[in-house]
Structures are given as structure tokens and as C-alpha cells.
Amino acid sequence: MELSQLSNITEPQLEFNISKASPLSVHPLEGLKNFGPYSADLFPIDKIRIATIHLKGTEHLLRKLFAEFEKSHLPKERKKYLPVYEGFKKIFRAEIFYQESVSLSLEADKVFNSSQEYHISLSDTLGNAIRSMSQRTQDYDILVIYLPEIWSKGFEDFESNFDLHDFLKAATAIRNIPTQIVTENGALRYRCRCSVMWRLSVAFYVKAGGTPWKLATIDNESAFIGLSYSARKNPVTEKFDFITCCSQVFDSDGTGLEFLAYDTSGIESTQGANPFLTRGEMRKVMSKSLALYQRRHSGRLPKRLIVHKTTHFTKNEIDGAFDAIPANVELELLQIIQDTPWRGIKYNNYGKWKNDTYPINRGSYLVLNSREILFWTQGIVKINGKSFFKEGKGIPSPLLIRRHAGSGGWDQNCQAILGLTKMNWNHDGLYDRLPVTLGFASVLARTIKRMLEVKDKAYEFKYFM
């Protein structure tokens, strides 16, 4: 098999505080340090009020944690990537206030009920606490739920597939409460305080309504949709017979995320746990998604609409998508496949061919045929003139991108996908392997299947982070 020449997409630039001169960087944390967050002057946030649900007697631990946001921290890990943390106020132009008087402490002897299984008792106790805190949302911006290690016996139940984290996210998301779950062995005890501060700081800023960065390298006339599905349990039959369809709608710069979720019976077939929609149901979800985009853009349509999903598009899904999209909007349907048998090793010719000491460059792609390419979203990135490999070791495998409809150039599609791998505000990393159109799908699926009721409306992703 003869392959075409390898092509490469330049690492996408991120844009930060627009009141600064040339506020661009490929590095999200260095960009925040040097320029401040994108929305710092557009929509200023002066203070972020934090309330907590915690075990009584652990208040001093939380006070200590929140005091760390006012200090500088040197990195003890990922030293080629992590910059020095210089304090939340200096970086984000806002202050964090611990609203201890608003917070709710739980008596140790009332957390577990001896007549119930651990996970049921703990989730009931925390569920009641969340309902109580939902009456005081005007007094705080973010709710931190602290989970000490002595509660760990109620964190999971493998027999019932229970996960406390997902339960808590579902219980707070349905009430529109932005939350951060903090564990004793995680945020409180993790050795690299610099890493903890960066991760929590970005998350707090986003959950308080801020925009830390956006993409600077994608055209402003494209929109992106990520399709995913989740099987939910029927509370009457106790069987997973609700299929929830999720459509995530992103602006061309990777921001403005909202998503639609609704239960559907319009399933044509399934492949394992993956459903495929009927023509009518695909038309419905695409129409809803386009209307959501138009609502945010004063009725304006995008010139290009690019849809990502992990499974193939059936003929009925393709037809349904075209039914919903006006003829003057260019539609691309792309399947993004993670598991491929391909690998790529970089060789250099220094008088004699030999393999390089670093992997292939991130952003490399190889055209297999008119419909398929291999695309490396992991690999070497140049930061300040030096090679950086986020994964540290191993040979990165490419994604297989398969086009089911559309005729746009691969350069444009790859540039968009590579940019969207940098738009996960739920961590401090340089990139993800998958674009956020699909990377957020697993987060949504885990949470939505715990929700007793999914309303047919638009949701903000910050409640599910």
C-alpha cells in the first residue's frame, strides 16, 4: 500500500485577555500568567464565593486549602510544563472567598445509617444536604463538596454500578448548582500543590462564569456538534430502557458550549451499547442543535456545520441531517475512531536513517484515501523552542477520521479538531487526545444516566464539570 506524504498542522494558538497586546500562546497556563483570562476585562469577576458541604470538624482543612490560593507554589512534577503558580488574584484578576457561615457541616454519627448499605446511606445524607444548600444559592457561587477518606466505603458499589461522584454531579446539575468535588487523598494531600492550585483555579474560574481562553486559529463561521448517547434506567422497571440523545454545540472558537439532552424512542438499531437514530430523529436533533446555535448568534446561520461522533453514520442518519440543514450551510459528518492498529515512528536522516528520540509531531496526518485519514493529536509540541511530549513515554497512536458526508479540505478539519483538543477547561493539561466535541460526551453520559428526569432543554456544561 503506497501512502501519501505526511502533512502537519501547526499547534493552535489560544487567545487570552484581549485588552493586552498580542495575547496569544500555545500554552494555556503560561497564557493565563502572562495575559490573564480571556474574559477578565470583557466580563470581570471580582470575587468567587465558595460554600462547602463537609464533615464537622474538618473546617480547618478547608480553610487551609482556600488559603493556598493566595500563595505562590513551585512545581514538583511536570516541570517542563507547569509554570510557577503565583496566586489566584494575580493570575485570574479575582479573589476567592470561603463562605464558612453559609457552609453546611455534617455530624459524623449521622452520615451513615446502620439499616442501609453504605453507598445508599451516604448518598441520601449528601442528597439531603444538597437540597438544603439549593435554598441558599444566592449566597455562594460554587459549592465544594468535601469527601474525607473515612467515607470511602460509600463511594462506590460495583454490584449496582453506583458511583458517588456521578450521583453528586447529577443531584447538583439538575438544580443548576456549579460544584467542585474535593477528596482528602486528592486535592488536600496531593504532593504537588502547584498542580492542585492550577487545576482547581481553572475549574473555579469557569464554574463562576469566566472564560479562561478561547481558540484564536479557527474561522468564525463554523459551528461544531458532538453527538453522544446515554442509556438511563427506568425508575419503574429498573431497566436501562431510556436512550438519552446528547448534542453538544460549540462555536468556532471552541467556546459557548451548551448541550441538548432528551429521551428518545427514535432508535433504528444498536451496535453494542451504541444506538443509531431514525431519519426523523436525526432531523429532530440536528434541527434543535441548529436552533440553539442561532439563538446564541441573533438568528445567524453558520456557513459550515461539522458533526463529530464515534460511531458511523447510517444512511438514515445522513439523510436526516441533510433534511434539517439549509442548502446554503456546508455540512460535514465525521466519524472519529480512537482504536486503530496504526502507529507512527519518526526517523531522521543524519547521514544514516535512524529513529528519532522523540515521537511523531502532534498535528501530523496521513491521507489513506478520499474518505479517511490518520491524525495524531498526541505527540511532540514545541514550547518556547523546546520539544515537549505530554505523555512522557510510549508511541502515540493516531485517530482514524472517516468522512461520511461533506467535501471540505482535510487541513481545515484537522486544524479544527486539533484546536478542540485544547478546549477542555476541566483540567490544566496542554491538550486531550479527543476534541471536546467527543471528550465531554463521556462526562455527560455518566452524569445524565444518574438523573431521574432529563428535561428537553439546553444545559450549560459548567454544571456537569
The string of DSSP letters for 84-135 reads PB--HHHHHS-EEEE-TTT-EEE-GGGSS-TTS-HHHHHHHHHHHHHHHHGG
The torsion angles phi and psi of 426, rounded to 5 degrees, stand at -95, 10
Q: Any idea which residue has 484515501 for its cell? A: 369
pLDDT in the model for residue 234: 65
CA dihedral over 281, 284, 285, 286, signed as positive or negative: positive
Q: Which residues contact 15 (CB under 8 A, 6 or more apart)?
A: 23, 24, 38, 213, 214, 215, 216, 253
**Reported pTM:** 0.91
What is the maximum alpha-carbon separation in the chain? 75
Cα dihedral 148→84→461→230 (10° resolution): -60
CA distance 436 to 420: 6
pLDDT in the model for residue 356: 65
Cβ distance 26 to 383 under 8 Å? yes
β pairing state of 14-15 and 214-215: antiparallel
The DSSP output letter for 69 is: G
pLDDT in the model for residue 56: 96
Amino acid found at 266: G
List per-residue pLDDT tens for the chain, 465 residues long: 556 678 899 999 999 998 888 899 999 999 999 999 999 998 999 999 999 999 999 999 999 999 999 999 999 999 999 999 999 999 999 999 999 999 999 999 999 888 899 999 999 999 999 999 999 999 999 999 999 999 999 999 888 888 999 999 999 988 999 999 999 999 999 999 999 999 999 999 999 999 999 999 767 789 999 988 777 666 666 666 667 777 788 888 778 777 777 777 777 766 666 788 899 999 999 999 999 899 888 899 999 999 999 999 999 999 999 999 999 999 999 999 999 988 887 776 655 555 666 788 999 999 999 899 999 999 999 988 888 999 888 889 999 999 999 987 899 999 999 999 999 998 899 999 999 998 877 777 777 777 767 777 777 888 888
User: Which grid coordinates are listed for 299?
Assistant: 438568528
Find, among 349, 351, 220, 243, the residue nearest to 293 by Cα.
220
